[in-house]
């Protein structure tokens, strides 16, 4: 195996890992603050991809920087939808048992997917213009598309921004307080409920960004969210729900295991991921970094 091929495999894994992390970080953030597991995450991922592709086909023949901004616009649109859904639907089930919250987000995902089917139809969508515009570059004899670097860099940029938001601003402090100990935060006078739409929208924004970033290099169909979120759910269970450290650690493990899995058992790479989850959960039932929390 040549060096160039190894580098290509490394960057492919990194790309997969960055898309994955944008989904899992959103899931963990929402679980940490709102205390609900968002089963509709895959639907929002798909919605992000579809909105992005519609914007792309609307703006043709524009410079690359405009295309780049369109990714953000698409994700913000989906984020705003999330911000509207939280107070109207999710707020009604916080006091009910956990299973009702799962059921509600699950039915939400059914509704969103069928709405996408209504507006966009079942035909796959392609959009290679931005991908072709950026061209290729050569690393150690292997041709590698520039777009992949852009996608990876975007996710890294978002992670840095998220870090700055969470650890350097007032609102980030409030979010961390709410996710660490909600009762204590409330008793100290923080209006935790006011944070909910914001955090939900942030999680949805990150996830939609993951969906939007996949549009230039793959066909967009209704099923794209299904496999990605299955892996993302496995990661969040592995890493521990509500823990950002766990989400990153879990994504790293899965990215690595999947790269090996694709190499050795290409037919059943998903099963390999699942076996790792099985082993981790049988040793640590709350995930690697999870802590046991009782519902109040």
Residues of the shown chain interacting with other proteins in the complex, contacts defined by CB under 8 A: 31, 37, 39, 89, 92-93, 96-100, 102-104, 106-111, 113-115, 117-118, 226-227, 230, 233-234, 236-237, 241, 267-268, 270-271, 274, 277-278, 281-282, 285-287, 292, 294
Question: Helix (H, G, I), strand (E, B), or coil: what is residue 131?
Answer: helix
Q: How many CB atoms lie within 10 A of CB 109?
A: 19
Minimum distance of other proteins from residue 31's CB (angstroms): 8
Nearer to other proteins, 198 or 270 (CB): 270
- 109's CB contacts (< 8 A; 6+ apart) are 39, 40, 41, 42, 43
Whole-angstrom Cα distance, residue 176 to residue 178? 5
Question: Whose Cβ is closer to other proteins: residue 95's or residue 139's?
Answer: 95
Q: How far is the CB of 243 from other proteins (least distance, A)?
A: 13
| H or E stretch covering 143 | strand 142-145
Nearest to other proteins of 18, 229 (CB atom): 229
Q: Which is nearer to other proteins, 138 or 267 (CB)?
A: 267
What distance in Å separates the CA atoms of residue 121 and residue 221, rounded to the nearest whole number?
Answer: 9
Q: How far is the CB of 8 from other proteins (least distance, A)?
A: 24
Q: Among residues 46 and 236, whose Cβ is nearest to other proteins?
A: 236
Q: How far is the CB of 177 from other proteins (least distance, A)?
A: 22
CB of 281 to other proteins, least distance (A): 6
């Amino acid at each position: 195996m040549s060096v160039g091929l190894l580098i290509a495999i490394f960057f492919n894994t990194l790309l997969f890992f960055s898309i994955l992390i944008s989904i899992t970080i959103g899931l963990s953030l929402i679980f940490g603050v709102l205390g609900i597991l968002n089963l509709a995450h895959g639907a929002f991922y798909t919605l992000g991809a579809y909105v992005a592709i519609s914007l792309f086909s609307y703006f043709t023949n524009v410079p690359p920087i405009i295309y780049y901004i369109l990714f953000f616009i698409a994700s913000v649109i989906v984020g705003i939808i999330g911000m509207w859904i939280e107070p109207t639907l999710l707020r009604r089930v916080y006091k009910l048992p956990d299973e009702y919250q799962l059921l509600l987000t699950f039915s939400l995902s059914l509704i969103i997917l069928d709405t996408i089917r209504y507006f966009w139809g079942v035909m796959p969508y392609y959009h290679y213009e931005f991908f072709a515009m950026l061209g290729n570059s050569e690393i150690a004899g292997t041709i590698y598309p520039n777009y992949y670097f852009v996608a990876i860099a975007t996710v890294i940029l978002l992670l840095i921004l998220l870090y700055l938001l969470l650890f350097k601003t007032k609102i980030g402090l409030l979010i961390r307080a709410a996710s660490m100990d909600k009762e204590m935060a409330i008793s100290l006078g923080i209006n935790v409920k006011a944070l909910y739409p914001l955090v939900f929208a942030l999680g949805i924004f990150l996830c939609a960004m993951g969906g939007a970033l996949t549009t230039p290099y793959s066909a967009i169909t209704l099923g794209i969210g299904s496999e990605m979120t299955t892996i993302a759910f496995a990661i969040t269970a592995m890493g521990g729900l509500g823990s950002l450290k766990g989400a990153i650690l879990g994504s790293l493990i899965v990215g690595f295991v999947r790269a090996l899995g694709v190499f050795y058992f290409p037919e059943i790479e998903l099963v390999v991921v699942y076996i790792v989850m099985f082993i981790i959960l049988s040793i640590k039932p709350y995930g690697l970094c999870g802590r046991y929390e009782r519902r109040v």
